[in-house]
Structure 1
Amino acid sequence: MVIEIRPATVFEDISTMVGPKRPDATVCWCLSYRIPSTLNLALRGPERGALVRELAAQDPAPGVLAYDGDDVVGWAAVHPRAATSFARNRRIPRVDDSDVWSIWCIRVRPGHRGQGISHHLLSGAVQFALDHGAPAIEGYPVDNQGRKVDLTMAYVGTRALFERAGFTESAVTSSVINGFPRLLMRYEPDQAGEH
């Protein structure tokens, strides 16, 4: 298996990873942190997919996708923090005034989990952000101390996943997911070595 990470510009592939089974269903579409909360609550059903289609046509793309050959097998959301709801999030503090990018969702398609794809996604999301001028990249994973995280909440990643990608803890947050505290972890290119 050779995993290739590409910018998320193909709407149908994004839909495979984060869209609903029924086109009229209201699901996250990985928009809950990407857009203001008032807009997130207002968008219903197909309107959400329509917005994602617009985002996929913009530069930068709304994230990256993992491919095994022609099959899309994973998704990671990455964008400048200032243009996400993390810019105003009281539970996840700002460490400094740097124009950091945020990675907030890593998803691997069922049937492809346990093959290291999340590591490829995180590495690819970091490279995507660096290629777009990010001075640093943040993630907000759970500190699960090796305990199992419910799959529906595992999208934020784990401390171990981010540590293996060269991220270090920058702050403890007051955010909790699935009973686990979330950390603010940061990747600084000059401190992490080559990427």
Structure 2
Amino acid sequence: MSEKDIIIHAATADRWPDFEDLMGKKGGYGGCWCMTWRLTNKSFDAQKGEGNRLAMKKTFELGRPPGLLAYDGSQAVAWCSVAPRTDFTRLEASRVLKPVDERDVWSVSCFLIRKSHRKTGLTVALLKAACEFVREQGGDVLEGYPIAPNKKPYPAVYAWTGFEAAFVRAGFTEVLRRSDTRPIMRKTLIAA
């Protein structure tokens, strides 16, 4: 696979079957269906699995795509959740990831990459595409919350918010770090 073989599309309602296939029978990481950041802990636990699948399907159908899908040929091989930070309820409640300032930012909250396509640069490609997507939606700041592992190797499957190094390669800079392993990274897309 080369970077030119990968095409990234907005996750529109017609791409739901591709997203569903990528998430697999377990629904991503243990039935999350990428709803972890969009719900309170209580709501997430109450609808884990099928409830989360139905909630994400509804999110796909609401209009603005909830993220991006990367394709290798006709198969979706990676996902990146991206939306205004206000869409991610759990971020608002986090002590470590609470807002840095009053700016209206968009957030990249998670990634899912097929095992066959990990360690190929897809996270960086998705981050660059997310910047363009947010710019097209009128956003001017994109923020992410990657893992900055303090021990190696760190299993990629647990780095669903991405690795700090990928954000740096995509042009993001650290704006705040309330935890040794969780920097808040930003990229300004349009001059403020």
TM-score range, shorter chain: 0.7 to 0.9
Two-structure CA RMSD over aligned residues (Å): 2.1
Match of 2:126 in 1: 121
Q: 1:71 and 1:41 mapped to 2: Cα distance?
A: 30
Alpha-carbon contact 1:81-1:100 (below 8 Å) kept: yes
What is the aligned counterpart of 1:110 among 115, 127, 130? 115
- CA gap 1:173/1:20 in 2 versus in 1, 3 angstroms: farther
Q: Which letter does structure 1 place at the counterpart of 2:147?
A: V
Q: Which runs of 5+ in 1 are unaligned?
A: 175-179
Give the 5 Å matches for 1:26-175: 27-84=31-88, 85-144=90-149, 147-174=152-179
- TM-score, normalisation: structure 2: 0.86
Give the length in aligned residue pairs: 184
- CA gap 1:44/1:161 in 2 versus in 1, 3 angstroms: closer
Q: 2:111 and 2:51 mapped to 1: Cα distance?
A: 23
SS of residue matched to 1:119: helix
User: Is residue 3 of structure 1 aligned with residue 6 of structure 2?
Assistant: yes
Percent sequence identity over aligned pairs: 33
Alpha-carbon contact 2:68-2:82 (below 8 Å) kept: yes
Match of 1:182 in 2: 182
Alpha-carbon contact 2:31-2:50 (below 8 Å) kept: no
Q: Which runs of 5+ in 2 are unaligned?
A: none
Q: 2:166 and 2:150 mapped to 1: Cα distance?
A: 12
- TM-score, normalisation: structure 1: 0.85
**How far does residue 190 in structure 1 lie from its aligned partner after superposition?**
4.3
Give the 5 Å matches for 1:12-23: 12-21=17-26
**How far does residue 148 in structure 1 lie from its aligned partner after superposition?**
2.2
